[in-house]
Each structure stands twice: as C-alpha cells, then as structure tokens.
Amino acid sequence: MDKSMNSNEPFDLRLPTPGCYLDPEKAGMDSDAVFQGMTAHLFYTLGKLATSASPHDLYMALSYAVKDRLMTRYLASQEVIRKKPQKTVAYLSAEFLIGPQLSNNLLNLGITQEAEDALKRFGIESLSTILEVEEEPGLGNGGLGRLAACYLESLASLQVPAVGYGIRYEFGIFNQLIRDGWQVEVTDKWLKGGWPWELPQPDESCFVGFGGRTESYRDDKGNYRSRWIPSEHAIGVPHDVPVLGYRVNTCDRLRLWRADATESFDFYAFNIGDYYGAVEEKVASETLSKVLYPNDGTDEGRRLRLKQQHFFVSCSLQDMLRSLEKRSIPITEFPKHWTVQLNDTHPAIAVAELMRLLIDQYQISWDKAWNITTSSVAYTNHTLLPEALEKWDLGLFNDLLPRHLEIIYEINWRFLQQLRLRYPGDDKILQKLSIIDEEGSKSVRMAHLATIGAHHINGVAALHSDLIKRQLLPELAKLWPEKFTNVTNGVTPRRWVALSNPSLSNLLEEEVGPDWITNMELLQKLEEKKDDNNFLQKFEETKLNGKRKLSNFIHSKTGILVDPSSLFDVQVKRIHQYKRQHLNALQIIAQYLRIKNGTNNYEVPRTIIFGGKAAPGYFMAKLMIRFINGIADVVNSDPDMDGLLRVVFLPDYNVKLGEIVYPATDLSEQISTAGKEASGTGNMKFAMNGALTIGTLDGANVELRDLVKKENFFLFGKTESEIMDLKNNNYSPKTFIDQCAELKEVIRLIEIGHFSNGDKELFKPLLNSLTGHDPFFVMADFEDYLNKQDVVSKCWNNKKSWNKMALLNTARSGYFSSDRSIREYCKSIWKVSPMPVEITCDVEELTN
C-alpha cells in the first residue's frame, strides 16, 4: 500500500474557490456571530420574526446556525479523502442511538457559552430551555445503538475517517407510557417538527431488489454466471448527519437510508378507480424505513425485518463501491480503502451481498471476490443468548433473496469441504458448524455466515470474548484462533460526563486540567485527593447537584417526592429477564418487610429507581414492569416507608433521560446472571460519574471491578462456572427458597396479591417462572444479593468512606472511554490511521 495512505500527518486543505468551504459570515464562533446566524435563519429559513419566534423556532434557528459551522469541517473532511485516499471505516449498524445533537455539537465546537449569550438577546435566560425542546432521534433502542453512536463520536474525535451506515427510521421503536402500572407503546413521531441536522443526498440514491428469481448464463468469455431478476425494487435515499469530533476539524458522517418507491403513483390504476392500488407500491416500499425493529412474532414482521437488513446493507455496500469508481480506484482495491464492521448479526447479510455485487455486477471471479470480502469485513458479536443470534427460515430467505441463498450455499459448501479435511468422517461437527441449520425448520445461521466471512470476530468484554471461544463458537475458534479477539466496549466522556454532568466536569478540569476529556487516564491524578476532606466535599456536592435535578424531574413526571439526600439506587436498562430487574424488585419487598417488621438493621433512606423499555411482544418483561409499579404503589403509599424507602419507575427511558440519571446515581445495579451480559455500558457511565456498583461477575463488570479494585465494588452472586454447574446438576430453585426465610416471606406476600390489589393471578406467571424453572437463577443469587445490600447500607452510613470509594471509581474509569476502544479497533482489526484535517484558508484569503 502507498505509504501516504496511512500517513497521520495533517493534510493541508488549500481551497481553490473563495467561499467554497469557509464563508466568513457563517464561520464566526463568538456570541455576536451566533446571534446573527440565528437571526438570518429565523428570517430566511423559517420565515419567522424574532418577536414571534417560539422556543421551537429558536431551537431550529440555533441548530441551523451551528450546522453552518459544521459544514466547513464536514466538506473539508470529505475532500481530504477524495484528494488523498485513505482507508475509511464503514460501521454498519441497525441502530444509532445518537441522542440530541445540539448540545453535543456546541460542546465539540466549543461555543456552548456563546450560544447561551446569543439566546439571552432573544429573551431566553437559559440554554437548557432550548435544549429541552429537541426531540430525541428515534434511531435506536438500547446499548447496541448507543455504542454505535459513541464509536462514531470517538472516531471523529480521534480524526479517523469513518461513515456510519444505518436506516433513517421515520418512527423510532416506540414512546413508553405507564398506565395502571403497565407499559403502553405509542408512536415515536420524532420527525414531526423537522430535524435540522440531516443533509438529504437524493443524487446518491441506490436501487435494492427483493424476491424474483435467478437464471444462469455464460458471459462473453464463456464463464458460467448467474443473474438475479428481482420482482420488486426500492430506492434508498441517503440522508447524511455530520458527526463532529471534539475540538478538531474532522467531521465524519452518519449516512442513513430512507426507502422510496421506484414508482410513487400508478396513474393507470388511479384512472380506473383503484385509488388504493395507485399508491400501493409507494406504501409497501416506504414501509422499509418506517419503524425500528418491527415485531418479528409474525411472518410479515420477520419478512419486513429481513428486508430492512438487506435494504440498508445493500445501499451501504453499493455506496462504498461507487465511491471507488468515482475516484477511478479499481474495485479489487476495496480492502485498501474500506474496512466494514458489522455491529452484531443484523448486517451479516453483507458477506453475501458484497460477494453478489463483486461477482454479478463487477464480474470478479469467486476466489478474488472471496478474498476481497474476507479482507474487508469484521464482525462484532454482542450476545450469547440463542434467541438474539439471528436465524432466518430457509423458505423466507429464498423467497426474498434467492441469489444470496445461492451464494450462501456456495460459501457453505466450500467451508464444509475445509471441515471434511480437518475432521474426516465427523458429520456431527459439520452439522453443528454449517451455515445452514438442518434441524427442524431449516434456517440460515447469520452468526455463522458473519464468522466465516470475517477476518476478525470480537467480543465486547474479556469474559464475553472468552465465552464466545469456549461456549458459543468453540470449534470455529479452534479452526481460526487468529480471527478471535476482544475489544471491551467504551463510552464517550464528552456525552456522558462533560455534557451530562457539568458540575463534575468543571471540578475535574480544575483539578487535572482540560485535557482529561480526550485523555481519561489523566483522571488517575484524582487518587491523590482520596483523603482530602475538602476535595471529597466538593466531589459530594457535584453528586448532590445531580440528585436535586433528578428529584425535580421525578416529581414533574410522576408526582413522587423523593429526598435528594437519600441513597439513589438505580437500575436503568432494557427490561429483560436476564438483566434481572425482578431480582431487584424482590429485594425491595424484603426491605419493605424489614421496615414493617422493625427488623431493619440499617436506617438508610433509599430511593430505588428503575427505567427501561420492554419489547412489545415480550410478555414477561412487560409483566416485570407491572410488578415494579405494583410494588411502588404499595411502598410509596405506606406511611411507615416515609423517609426510608421510595420506588420510582421512570417512563420512556432514553439518552436525554440518561443524561439526568447517570450524574445523580449513588449505587449502580448491574445484576445480570453471570455469563449472560456481553458487556454493558451503563456500568461504565455510572462509574465515570462517581457511582458505586453492586453487581455480578458478568460482562464488563469483571474489568470494572479489576480496575476500581474489589474494595470499591459490591460483588455478589454465582460465577459463570457456578451457574453452569447448577444448570448441569438439575438446578432446583426450591432448594434456595427453602434455605432463605426472608425469600419465602417475599414470595408469600406476592402470592396473596399484596402488590396487585388482592389479585392472586396477576403475577402468577412471574412466580411460576421464578419458583419453577428459574432460567436466570434469581433464586440462587437472592440471599447473597440481599446480604450485599446490607453491606451497601453500612458503607453509606460512613459518608467520608463512601465519597472516597466514589471518587476512586471516577479516577479509575478512564479505561472505559470509547476513545480507548476505537484505538484498539484501529490498531488490531481495522488497520487504519488518523488523518487530521487542517483548514488553512483564512478569511482574508477567501475574500481577496
């Protein structure tokens, strides 16, 4: 490869056309320039006078003014790649939970105060008034999408060329309401007021096919070929979202695909009176980008979900290949210019689609195409749960993607030939490793396809990566040990400390300087302050500021009054049995009983806070939400609990709410069954913000405990190997129930309907699961968990010691910056280097 392609020397972008990138009137960073930009956009873009502008109008005007200042960097970053080609990261993900953009861009540009000053001239005294107006983009659901967003931000901050590829969902997964204790899903219309951060690029649209048939032929050289003749098409229209790095000129992009019909309106159908048929194709095509994760409990839902995955993957790969053609770069050099990262199995069809494009469209031989594919694609596994490892019914797959199935059969045949040489006569291992699952209803195993087609497979925490090799894909790991590696997840400190916790951020800057935000290892200097009472008091005050803010939010949203001086005990994450919100709920009942019975040994006021969404079709998770709210109703209405115990379920948990919750948390609940959580990233955000963790040895908890040291982490529960032993020895939850009198009493209280207004049937499915099969070993861990909560209470009563432990969590959390994660990906998997962008033109040069 040309040495220049991996150079990390700054690239001087000398702009030949005055005003092409740096318009002096739209580049100013002081408050006057921001004010003038807002005024211009109010008038010319929104058609409003300042005197009649609503808060939403001012939000839009400020956003457009900020986007003006992104454009120089955005276009310059694209031009650098065009003029000096370098390998670019393509991050393919079904989700990008990017959160609100205005505050993040103000921070990264360094003009937050200037924006606040400009707003005061419009009569707005606080920037927060405008920030609250912004709708959260409905582009993701949970940790997977939030991780993708953190990684894009870190890539830009580290000045690495990158494009995130996903779907521009018109509606997010859903907004969550709580009615009578139950989750109610309502449509997330996040685009209803307009979204100023996107740049539609209709001239770069792509065609995507579905269904139809294949036919074989011989090309003009006599080579056997196959062509796909789809029965339907959709158009993918790209919408680019600038992703600015922190205080650098690099501005990468998130390219989201919106589905359009190839023919929006059938005049013939309309003219003969078929009014619905006239727009049928348009409706069917646009459904592809309507909603995140359609319910896959139905045939139509599964069909739509597979179509979505192929849609955005095909558009993205076509876009990458087209970028080479535009620059007159041979397609065979694809791996030198693109590294394609699959964020879980949702984009795994990329292996077959890239092969199809190379073989069918560019007429490249199978061996060369396979070498290009396996040199370009890498795969991140995010789960060990069988139900989350996607498999597609063979009939459905053949109906929608017949050419891809042919290619997958060929990939599989060649792979199995390798296995036959390695394991002669061992049909069982061939059946186990085949991409095609032959048992029951035959299906395509997407994790196997991704693993076979990728040059690296990584887990997202040390334990998780080990379990991939030992339990999930042991034979494949033995076959290709060099492919398997680990990159522990990380989160961006810009969003999760600097933005969400300004009082802590200011304290950190005073103590270790401003560079901590891009070099989290500098926080280790805080350890010198662990016995400094004055500093510990300041550190505690930053926490109290966050708790006051969250207390006000809780009261405004739920009507519940909570005491900011109480211990804020928080579990916010997707609602799932393996994450064990019901274990937390059971210990609340035990604490409730202790207070009622006068056996509470530690008079520690607690506010226990939950937040998270359950998948609409996941009955048990929705019942868990109802269970938590049933407990909250009883606890919060009982005078005996006043000043001692409060339970809160925060509805519609998202990034905006997370920015309020993380800074306010004293105790972080990371209590999943050992061996089930791939990594978790909430644990990292909590630790950065000075929360202590109560948790199992699961996911990144293992590394978190090693880093903050065991004395600053509340460990409980069975280990992964102990869980396996229980499973292999006919685990019986009844054994553990009989050994724990408090657990028996908790179960009895639920059975008699104490938390369901006397309805003994409501929570019976939950109880039957816990006392019968107990698939996530809640009963096995309950007593140890309850005892460790006593240790938490004891520690809380010594506030100086608690503050010291909290400070050390922050000081030792630097490893969990997503900057570190991205550096590891760049070095060990992607083989890419930074390319700093220098914008050398000044105002005088442009105006001459």
β-partners of residue 839 are 13
Which letter, b or e, does each residue of 395-404 get, where b requires 16 or more Cβ atoms within 10 Å of its Cβ? ebbbbbbbbb
Which letter, b or e, does each residue of 363-384 get, where b requires 16 or more Cβ atoms within 10 Å of its Cβ? ebeeeebbebbbebbbbbbbbb
Residue 131 half-sphere exposure, CB side, CA atoms within 13 Å? Answer: 22
Cα separations in angstroms, 195 against 66, 130, 818, 832: 13, 14, 27, 32
Coil/strand/helix, residue 417 = helix
**Is residue 566 within 8 Å of 607, Cβ to Cβ?**
yes
Q: Which of 376, 308, 301 is nearest to 342 (CA)?
A: 376
From the candidates 681, 693, 696, 810, give the one annotated as an active-site residue: 681
Our measurement of the distance from residue 585's CA atom to the centroid of its chain's CA atoms, rounded to an integer in Å, reads 26
Residue 3 known to be catalytic: no
Please provide the DSSP assignment of 456-524 as one string.
-EEESSHHHHHHIIIIISHHHHHH-GGGEEE----B-HIIIIIIT-HHHHHHHHHHH-GGGGT-GGGGG
Provide the pairing of β-strand 606-611 with 567-572: parallel
Q: Provide the 10 A C-beta neighbour count for residue 771.
A: 16
Cα separations in angstroms, 540 against 295, 454, 547, 794: 44, 47, 11, 18
Helices 764-771 and 741-751 pack at an angle, to 10 degrees, of 150
Residue 574 known to be catalytic: yes
From the candidates 469, 579, 646, 656, give the one annotated as an active-site residue: 579
Q: Provide the 10 A C-beta neighbour count for residue 662.
A: 28
Residue 45 known to be catalytic: no
From the candidates 494, 573, 705, 718, give the one annotated as an active-site residue: 573
Coil/strand/helix, residue 614 = coil
Q: What is d(CA 611, CA 450) in angstroms, rounded to the nearest whole number?
A: 33
From the candidates 310, 382, 403, 549, give the one annotated as an active-site residue: 382
Residue 681 known to be catalytic: yes
From the candidates 574, 622, 656, 676, give the one annotated as an active-site residue: 574
From the candidates 464, 685, 804, 812, give the one annotated as an active-site residue: 685
Q: Provide the 10 A C-beta neighbour count for residue 790.
A: 15
327-336 long-range CB contacts below 8 Å, 24 or more apart? 327/82, 327/85, 329/85, 331/358, 331/362, 331/364, 332/364, 332/368, 332/372, 334/372, 334/376, 335/372, 335/375, 335/376, 336/1, 336/5, 336/87
List strand residue ranges (DSSP E) for 18-156, in order. 88-92
Residue 72 known to be catalytic: no
Q: What is d(CA 748, CA 613) in angstroms, rounded to the nearest whole number?
A: 28
Q: What is d(CA 337, CA 327) in angstroms, rounded to the nearest whole number?
A: 11
E strand or H helix at 110: none
Q: Which of 206, 398, 170 is nearest to 292 (CA)?
A: 170
Please, what sign has the CA dihedral across residues 469, 473, 479, 483? negative
E strand or H helix at 142: none
> Which residues are identified as catalytic?
382, 573-574, 579, 681, 685
